[in-house]
Amino acid sequence: MNPAGERGEFVDVHNEMFSIEIREEGVFLVVEAPTSGATPVQVGQIVDALNAQKVEDYNRAAVEAAVRSMSGEPVKIAESQKSRPQAEISVLVSRDRMEAFLQIDLPEGARKPDAETVMEKIDKSGVLFGLLPESIDLAIRQPGLRILCAKGQAAENGQDATIEYMVDLERRGKPAETIDGGVDFKNLGLYINVEKGQVLAVKHLPGQGVEGYDVCGNSIPPRAGKDLVLHPGANVLIEEDSKLVAAVSGTVTAAGGKLSVSPVLNIKSDVDLSTGNIDFAGDVVINGSVQEGFSVRAGGNVDIAGMVSGGNVKGCNVTIRQGILGLNKGLIEASGTVVAKFVENARVTADQDILINDVVLHSQLSAGKKVRVEGKRGQIVGGVISAGDEILAKSAGSSSATPTELQAGVNPKLREAYLAMRKDLKAAEASLDQLQKGLFTLRSIDKAKLPPEKQELLLKITRAQFSTMGQVESMRKKMAELETAYEELKGGQVKISDYVYPGVKIVIGSLVKPISEEYRFVVFYADAGEIKFRPFK
């Protein structure tokens, strides 16, 4: 490679009409004829360029001749400039090899190097990556100034593993808002419900990062992100090595870096303004009472040590140890059984049994199977009591002929399900009939004569027929089950182990028997289209 200044170099071109080329054998000038309307090159312009390049001992006459001729051919105007000092090109690499700097120094009489010469020097220095092209022109224009000419690319370290919580733990203890933007003091948000199988948190795996390079082209390995170990608490499982999942329904809590799920919510006081309404996915145990206007909803069982006074309770099995004072607005609902000491002016429904240990006063009770009112008094006075199977009590009504209705063999939910299924089955059978008629019509036509759209319609109707047939078959099986259950209701009985007073109405299925005189120790049942009675044993 020739040193700076000893190889061909075009410099200081004005209007693209002249150039100066410095060669080993001398300095040559090329002057072009001007294009239409352009001003010809002047000798002074070329002289200025020669001085700027520090060309010594040039032949002015040769310069003037080249300007006059404008031949476009190189004209020698000076001898070789080899004896002149050369530009000093320095490339400095930082200790961490992430930066390289370029500096061009021009001793007295030295010419500026061209960009190609500078680039060759940079290549020889070992700088291969992150070159800043504009730095070369800048260094040539500003000799003596140290210029950043290359910059490495740092490695991007991998992101550490993170945990994304799928439940809003910050919501705990924040009361709900009312429609007008106020605070709902009955919904205090004291716990967070989760369902069994619900994803509580997801671990996002650590990243591996992206490698970097120094200015010499060497690879810089990234640091991989740090991993996290999932620590499940009570009733929480790890799935797919990256998910925390609730093993039971309940309330989720976070403590000590662990998520836990408690299947039981324990309320140590009354359900009132201090707790707000309770809506919990698991079991609820209340050591106090449920006050007027408040509600308890549970995905599991509810056990109340005190009373329910004008409140609402809903759960699987509901136990109210000190009784229910409905205040004509309380509602107790259970998908299983309700157990209470007494019921007064309340509504109670249970898919299974209702078991009362003292009295029922002026209330509405509905059980899918049995209503039993026992204990010391075992009285039913006023209201409407219905049971799918039987009603058992010590006494019904009162000596003052309080209107009291006892319905056995009656299950409103079963009746609703039966009527709805009968309606759906009738509609499905009608749809199937229409499909089969359509198929019969299309199949009666020669397939070869069916246009493509009719063939496609035949295929669609055939598929729809099979689907509808499956639905009808399933509905018929369910209908048969409901009919069997409905038939069993005809065996409903009302059993009274002591007095039945006038004013009581006995209903079994669709049969009705008003009581106009006192009965004792009797069992009422349906037989041959009428309500009969026999001795209670």
pLDDT for residue 7: 39
Tell me the CA distances in angstroms from 66 to 13, 55, 209, one per residue in order: 15, 17, 63
Give CA 376 to chain center in angstroms. 56
User: Nearest 5°: CA angle at 209, between 208 and 212?
Assistant: 135
The answer to whether residues 201 and 261 touch, using CB atoms and an 8 Å cutoff, is no
Residue type, 287: N
Q: Which residues does 258 contact at the CB level (< 8 Å), separation at least 6?
A: 231, 232, 233, 236
- d(Cα 12, Cα 21) in Å, to the nearest integer? 10
In this structure, the dihedral spanned by the alpha carbons of residues 182, 187, 189 and 195, taken in order and rounded to 10 degrees, is: -130
Beta bridge partners of 405: 384, 505
- The Cα 302–Cα 284 span in angstroms is 5
Q: Residue 440: phi, psi to the nearest 5? A: -60, -40
| pLDDT value of residue 39 | 83
Report the candidate in 502, 506, 518 with the shortest Cα–Cα distance to residue 401.
502
Q: Report the alpha-carbon distance of residue 482 to residue 208 in Å, rounded.
A: 61
Structure tokens at 141: 């224009």
Contact between 17 and 32 under an 8 Å Cβ cutoff? The reply is yes
What is the rounded (10 degree) CA torsion for 71, 72, 74, 76? 40
Helix (H) or strand (E) segment spanning residue 164: strand 162-165
Q: Which residue has the tokens 């970097």?
A: 212
Q: What backbone phi and psi angles, to 5 degrees, belong to 97?
A: 60, 25
pLDDT at 2: 37
Q: Which helix (H) or strand (E) holds 532?
A: strand 530-535
Dist. CA 74–CA 28, nearest whole Å = 6
Nearest to 261 by CA among 294, 236, 296, 287: 236
Contact criterion met (CB below 8 Å) for 432 and 412: no
Residue 151, C-beta contacts closer than 8 angstroms, at least 6 positions apart: 98, 99, 100, 130, 132, 215
pLDDT value, residue 338: 95
Closest CA to 397 of 286, 293, 250, 498: 498
Residue with tokens 């009472």: 289
Q: Rounded distance, CA 452 to CA 317, Å?
A: 61
Report which residue type is found at 57: D
Nearest 5°: the CA angle 250, 251, 255 is 135
| CA of residue 480 relative to chain centroid, distance | 42
305-308 CB contacts, 8 Å cutoff, 24+ apart: 306/270, 308/332, 308/346
SS3 51: helix
Class of residue 397 by CB neighbours under 10 A (exposed 0-12, middle 13-18, buried 19+):
buried
Query: For each of the chain's 537 residues, which pLDDT tens digit applies?
Result: 333 333 344 444 344 688 888 887 888 999 988 887 788 888 988 898 888 777 878 899 999 999 999 998 999 998 877 666 788 999 999 999 999 999 999 887 777 888 888 999 999 999 999 999 999 999 999 999 999 999 999 999 999 999 998 888 877 666 666 677 665 666 766 778 888 999 999 999 999 999 999 999 999 999 999 998 888 999 999 998 899 999 998 888 888 888 999 889 889 999 998 888 998 888 999 999 999 999 999 988 999 999 999 999 999 999 999 999 999 998 999 999 999 999 999 999 999 999 999 999 999 999 989 999 999 999 999 999 999 889 999 999 999 999 999 999 877 677 778 778 889 999 988 988 888 888 887 777 777 777 888 778 878 888 888 888 888 999 999 888 877 776 666 678 999 999 999 999 998 877 899 999 999 999 999 888 899 999 998
Of 58, 62, 66, nearest to 31 by C-alpha is 66
Sheet with strand 88-93: strands edge to edge: 88-93, 99-105, 147-151
Q: Report the C-alpha gap between 452 and 439 in whole angstroms.
A: 16
Is the CB of residue 73 less than 8 Å from the CB of residue 195? no
